[in-house]
Amino acid sequence: MSQAAPAPQSESESEIIQGLIDRARTAMKAIADADQARIDEAVTALAWSIYEPDRAKELAELAVRDTGLGNVESKIIKNQRKTFGCLRDLMRVKTVGVIEEIPAKGLVKYAKPVGVVAAVSPSTNPAATPVNKAMMALKGGNAVIIAPSPAGMGPTTKTVDYMRAELEKIGLPADLVQVLPSPVNKALTQSLMEACDLVVVTGSQNNVRRAYSSGTPAIGVGAGNVSVIIDSTANLKDAAEKITMSKIFDNSTSCSSENAVIILDDVYDDAIAALKAAGGYLADADEKQKIQDTLWVDGHLNRHVIAKDADVLAKQTGLSGEAEKAKFFMVEDENPGPGHPFADEKLSLVLTVYRASDFADAMAQVDAIMDVCGRGHSVGIHTGDMDHARKLAEDLQVVRVLVNQAHTFGNGGSFTNGLDFTLTMGCGTWAGNSISENLNYKMFINTTHLVTEIPEDKPSEEELFGDYWAKYSK
């Protein structure tokens, strides 16, 4: 069942949204008594809607064609890998009826739906993100309404059509998943955010802020701007290959793509050589200026060059010769912080390189980069010294610290780490977010607690205050 038809011109934003909400609530009633197995069938249906190879390819091609962002091969991988990983995670948890019993505390926990979810999705992932969020929403017994970016309207609508068709195939209401009708605009999205029960936003910080001010409970995420340290104990070849693989994936559209690498002085030259061998091109001072003049226009990223293939970026920035053969481009910079554009998120195949005198200096530079953008999101380190990794986790205001990993492939969940698969990464209060973990099914359920009495668990005053009294007196 397609839902691609534009809304009648005579309807107001509120009338359009109310119609979607009403259909979503009706669809939810049809699964109100569904058991876990039936809910899991629904989630699997959504996963198959995009994982099926022909559709994964079609949606990737459509996304690149319509948005001009990223590349088809990477988006096929994203459509399948993220969906497969998310399905794995969701099939391992309970979200219907009793989900936990704690006899010692006299507690039994029951999961309940949160209601109609508004899922605001970005142009960078117009297919994978809607499916990812819809899977989590339906896992909790909810309905979801997708609000696409204007640039991603075509691929997102097609994705929703495929999800709806799979739901109908298994005998469930297609209206469990809906999409805003064309033309999408800020007013329509705002009306949806105000009328639904939960807003989940991935994308621009303007959308995140509007969600939090909508009056509806909201989950938003912060901006990416990942820095990665290469320290003296790193396997330089392995680090360079992982950084390259991660940096070039989908032409750096991911919020988890490396935007800066900080290299300790004693391995700096060797690390640069390893990055060159892996496909990086080190720009000289004149080339760096050309990149800067092209990448930013009036202080804003130039949408005509971000997320483009390396050869396209080389030509548009006026680089030639060996640069045209490169996989990505490195620019050396120093003193990162506000007023230094190369310290910002670049959404392009440009990697800023900093030299650090020692590990403390490297940490200070990472912190300065986060003063520009990306505080709360994540950092990475390539090291053989876990004390360095632990120091980052202890001292920096970030949610995730990845050790010896390709950041783009590890940050949103991996088959070789324990993070939840997601395309929406919370950054904590450091970024103005309500969550400091990867978006997961727990955000899409309410929990009822059945509470029964247990033997009294009341310690004496001496047990609680004794040490304090002994040290400071009563």
Residue 374 CA to residue 172 CA, distance in Å, equals 41
R_g over Cα of the chain: 24
Q: Mean per-residue pLDDT for 55-70?
A: 97
19: domain CATH number is: 3.40.605.10
Residue 381 CA to residue 384 CA, distance in Å, equals 10
231 and 202 share a domain? no
Residue 179 CA to residue 262 CA, distance in Å, equals 42
Instruction: Please indicate whether residue 255 is annotated as part of the active site.
Output: yes
Q: Is 425 within a domain?
A: no
Can you tell me which residue has the tokens 């997320």? 307
Q: What are phi and psi of 258, to 5 degrees?
A: -65, 125
Reply yes or no on whether the pLDDT at 3 is more than 90.
Answer: no
39 and 62 share a domain? yes
Inter-CA distances, 204 with 78, 87, 247, 303, 456, Å: 20, 26, 21, 14, 51
Q: What is the pLDDT of residues 376-413, one digit of tens each?
A: 999 999 999 999 999 999 999 999 999 999 999 999 99
The whole-model pTM stands at 0.94
Last residue of a domain, one of 394, 410, 426: 410
129 and 271 share a domain? no
374: domain CATH number is: 3.40.309.10
255 and 195 share a domain? no
* Residue partners of 167: CB distance under 8 A and separation at least 6: 42, 45, 46, 173, 174, 176, 177
Amino acid at the residue 57: K
The per-residue pLDDT for 2 is: 65
High-pLDDT (> 90) share of the chain, %: 94
Q: Other C-beta atoms within 10 Å of 323: how many?
A: 21
275 and 176 share a domain? no
264 and 198 share a domain? no
Residue 209 CA to residue 140 CA, distance in Å, equals 25
Last residue of a domain, one of 389, 410, 431: 410
Domain total of the chain: 2
143 and 157 share a domain? yes
Out of 26-35, 139-148, 303-312, 463-472, least confident range:
303-312
Q: Is 466 within a domain?
A: no
* Residue partners of 290: CB distance under 8 A and separation at least 6: 283, 317, 318, 319
pLDDT band at 320 (very low <50, low <70, confident <90, very high): confident
Closest CA to 377 of 429, 339, 332, 415: 429
Estimate to the nearest angstrom the gap between the alpha carbon of 33 and the chain centroid: 32
211 and 253 share a domain? no
Reply yes or no on whether the pLDDT at 7 is more than 90.
Answer: no
257 and 384 share a domain? yes
Residue 406 CA to residue 243 CA, distance in Å, equals 6
Residue of 86, 196, 255, 427 marked catalytic: 255
Q: Mean per-residue pLDDT for 158-167?
A: 98
Reply yes or no on whether the pLDDT at 330 is more than 80.
Answer: yes
The per-residue pLDDT for 396 is: 98
Given its phi and psi angles, is residue 97 left (phi above 0), alpha (psi -120 to 50 degrees) or beta? Answer: left
Amino acid at the residue 35: D
Q: Is 469 within a domain?
A: no
Tokens of residue 161, six digits: 């059509």
CB 78 within 8 A of CB 128: yes
> Domain range for residue 304?
226-410
Q: Is 346 within a domain?
A: yes
The per-residue pLDDT for 116 is: 98
pLDDT band at 203 (very low <50, low <70, confident <90, very high): confident
Tokens of residue 89, six digits: 């995670």
Torsion angle of the four alpha carbons 144, 150, 154, 155, in this order, in degrees rounded to the nearest 10:
-60
pLDDT band at 1 (very low <50, low <70, confident <90, very high): low
Q: Is 380 within a domain?
A: yes
161 and 274 share a domain? no
Q: Is 8 within a domain?
A: no
Residue 86 CA to residue 75 CA, distance in Å, equals 16
Q: Is 465 within a domain?
A: no
Closest CA to 351 of 413, 286, 424, 276: 276
Reply yes or no on whether the pLDDT at 90 is more than 60.
Answer: yes
The residue with greater pLDDT, 11 or 32, is 32
pLDDT band at 204 (very low <50, low <70, confident <90, very high): confident
285 and 335 share a domain? yes
Residue 240 CA to residue 274 CA, distance in Å, equals 6
DSSP state of 8: P
CB 32 within 8 A of CB 141: yes
171 and 315 share a domain? no
Reply yes or no on whether the pLDDT at 26 is more than 80.
Answer: yes
Q: Is 48 within a domain?
A: yes
